Amino acid sequence: MKKDIHPDYHEITLVLTDGSEVTTRSTYGKAGDRLRLDVDPKTHPAWTGVHRISDTGGQVAKFNKRFGGLGIKKS
């Protein structure tokens, strides 16, 4: 392995959205830095299974109006 080409790998503290802290190793920042997460496994729908649709400016309604009939056969 070549010397002096790899980034410094050290311990940092992750602060989750609920305020709990986890110590991990990373190349982020300096040793002892804290990284605050906006999205983590406790809040993200991919891990929690709770999905929420936020209709900003009627985008969902506009989408449904344009593409709502696709895939439905009319007899």
Residue 24 lies in a domain: yes
Residue 10 lies in a domain: yes
Residue 72 lies in a domain: no
Q: What is the rounded CA–CA span in Å between residue 18 and residue 38?
A: 10
Distances in Å between the Cα of 22 and the Cα atoms of 14, 37, 41, 59 are 5, 11, 12, 37
Per-residue pLDDT tens listing for the chain (75 residues): 788 888 889 999 999 888 999 999 999 999 999 999 888 777 777 777 776 666 667 777 788 888 877 776 665
Q: Look at the alpha carbons of 24, 27, 32, 38 in this order and tell me if their dihedral is positive or negative.
A: negative
Residue 58 lies in a domain: no
Residue 5 lies in a domain: yes
- Supply the range of the domain harboring residue 34: 1-43
* Bridge partners, 25 (sequence order): 11
Residue 20 lies in a domain: yes
